[in-house]
Amino acid sequence: MDSGEELLKTLLREKNVSSNSSWENAIKCMEADPRFESVRSLPNRKFIFNEYKQQKAKEEKEEHRLRVKKAKEDLESFLNSDPRVTSSLRYRQACEEFANLDVWKIVPDDERHDIFEDVMLAVKKREDDRARELRKRNREVLRDILDAIPDITAHTSWLKAQQYLSQNEVFTKDPNLQAMDKLDALEVFMEYIEQLEDEEKEERRRERKERAKQERENRFAFVRFLDELHAAGHLTSISKWQNLYQTISCDSRYIALLSQPLTGSTALDLFKFYVEDLKARYEDEKQIINEILKARNFSITLETTFVDFATFVSEDERSANLDGGNLKMIFERLAEKEREKERLRVRQVMKERRKLEQALLAVLGKHIDVEDDVTLEWDEVRPLICDDPAFKAIEKEEERIEIYHNFLNSMHDTCMHHHKKPKNSKCSHHGYSPPSVTDSPPSGTSCIDPNSIDLGELERKRRQIIEELRSSKR
């Protein structure tokens, strides 16, 4: 764009030529100004004029838009700030109220109605927000007042609470609280009462927790007391409650546990659990004892007493924590094995003896006729059978004589049973059944009664031996 065109456009702006002016009216405004001659060509002048009109039309349109926008904003600001405008105001009432105000009249009716509706929504929201804030404030203040009244508890009624509030200076002098919705006030009161009830429940829960903690501590203390009894040898895996009750009942830890409600394990339960735990150690302790016996090449015999066994085991360090009851049961098991072996040996000996008796009786049956030789003495019979292997198999003479007498008695009883037979009939010796010999253990064997042993005293001696061994090793 050259300087002439710029001067002509500047002249048009200065003359404030509107966008709807004609070329002729524009010439009348500009022809006296020397700048009009800066463009001499008529077509160029009209071209520049048309460009100006187009630009001016855009500017005028933008100016109009801005004026309308400002008028709307002014009206909206007025409606938002005027105290007469509330959510209950209707558009018809507003038209009558604000008809003479420029800020109201400058905006077209259709646009004014839309602005009014939008403002009403904002006013309604603002009023709701204020009401919500006021309600929140009233609820908080009322809750603080209730909390400050010491007479209100979790069991106070709403009627009684209203009497307390009517006597509260803060409540009576607050106009907002006086105008507070009654249902809101009742709801605040109910929430406060629920809070008090929750606090009471929490307090009771804490008390129960403390009681439960104390009860656990009492049970732990009683278990430690049982540990002391076990360490002293009074309590073992075979101990009975009635045997130790006299000792246990005198201890304060038992009395403390006895005073507790029956909501957990009793002293008797703990005692039983403790004994069961000791019994559960049986297999492990049996393995330890077997290792001790094997390492020191010790074997239990029929003559071994429990005292000997316990003393021997106590000399090994590994026996330090063994339970006396388990030790006694292990001894009983090992001793019973030995007694069973002895019983089997005796039965075998008696079985062999019966075989020898049967053989000798059979030999006697072949050489002696009971009806004819019933008066024969042993010295007369002996030469008849002395060379027989069955005779030699029995080494003791008194046993041979006893078998011979049994033979005579048996044959006599058999013949008397068949006395009705003809005189010339003879008793058959083929069906002869020798008398049974009662199994009896050999003399000299005896069974030890473990119940006659004071287990507590023995356990204390065992632990004393262990301490002496440890001291000597140090």
* CA atoms within 13 Å, Cβ hemisphere of 119: 26
List of residues 6+ apart from 427 with CB closer than 8 A: 370, 371, 411, 414, 415, 418
Output phi, psi for 42, to 5 deg: -65, -45
pLDDT, position 201: 93
Q: Which two tokens stand for residue 50?
A: 């048309």
pLDDT, position 40: 62
pLDDT, position 417: 54
pLDDT, position 41: 64
- Angstrom distance (rounded) from CA 96 to CA 150: 57
- Angstrom distance (rounded) from CA 375 to CA 352: 30
pLDDT, position 466: 62
The DSSP symbol for 421 reads S
- Angstrom distance (rounded) from CA 187 to CA 167: 20
List of residues 6+ apart from 445 with CB closer than 8 A: 302, 342
pLDDT, position 203: 92
Residue among 313, 315, 325 at smallest CA distance from 288: 313
Cβ atoms of residues 145 and 170 within 8 Å: yes
pTM given for the model: 0.47
Report CA-CA distances (Å) from 351 to 13, 338, 427.
152, 20, 28
Q: Which two tokens stand for residue 245?
A: 């009750």
Full 3-state SS string of the chain = CCHHHHHHHHHHHHCCCCCCCCHHHHHHHHCCCHHHHHCCCHHHHHHHHHHHHHHHHHHHHHHHHHHHHHHHHHHHHHHHHCCCCCCCCCHHHHHHHCCCCHHHHCCCHHHHHHHHHHHHHHHHHHHHHHHHHHHHHHHHHHHHHHHHCCCCCCCCCHHHHHHHHHCCHHHHCCHHHHCCCHHHHHHHHHHHHHHHHHHHHHHHHHHHHHHHHHHHHHHHHHHHHHHHHHHCCCCCCCCCHHHHHHHHCCCHHHHHHHCCCCCCCCHHHHHHHHHHHHHHCHHHHHHHHHHHHHHCCCCCCCCCCHHHHHHHHHCCHHHCCCCHHHHHHHHHHHHHHHHHHHHHHHHHHHHHHHHHHHHHHHHHHHHCCCCCCCCCCHHHHHHHHCCCHHHHHCCCHHHHHHHHHHHHHHHHHHHHHCCCCCCCCCCCCCCCCCCCCCCCCCCCCCCCCHHHCCHHHHHHHHHHHHHHHHHHHC
pLDDT, position 202: 93
What structural domains does the chain harbor? 3-128 (1.10.10.440), 133-207 (1.10.10), 348-414 (1.10.10.440)
Cβ atoms of residues 116 and 79 within 8 Å: yes
Residue among 441, 453, 454 at smallest CA distance from 305: 453
Give the residues of the chain that fall short of pLDDT 50.
1, 420-452
List of residues 6+ apart from 273 with CB closer than 8 A: 265
Cβ atoms of residues 341 and 349 within 8 Å: no
Report CA-CA distances (Å) from 240 to 251, 272, 330.
17, 9, 18
Q: Which residue matches tokens 């094997």?
A: 294
pLDDT, position 158: 92
The DSSP symbol for 319 reads G
The DSSP symbol for 16 reads T
- Angstrom distance (rounded) from CA 458 to CA 306: 9
Q: Which two tokens stand for residue 66?
A: 């801005």
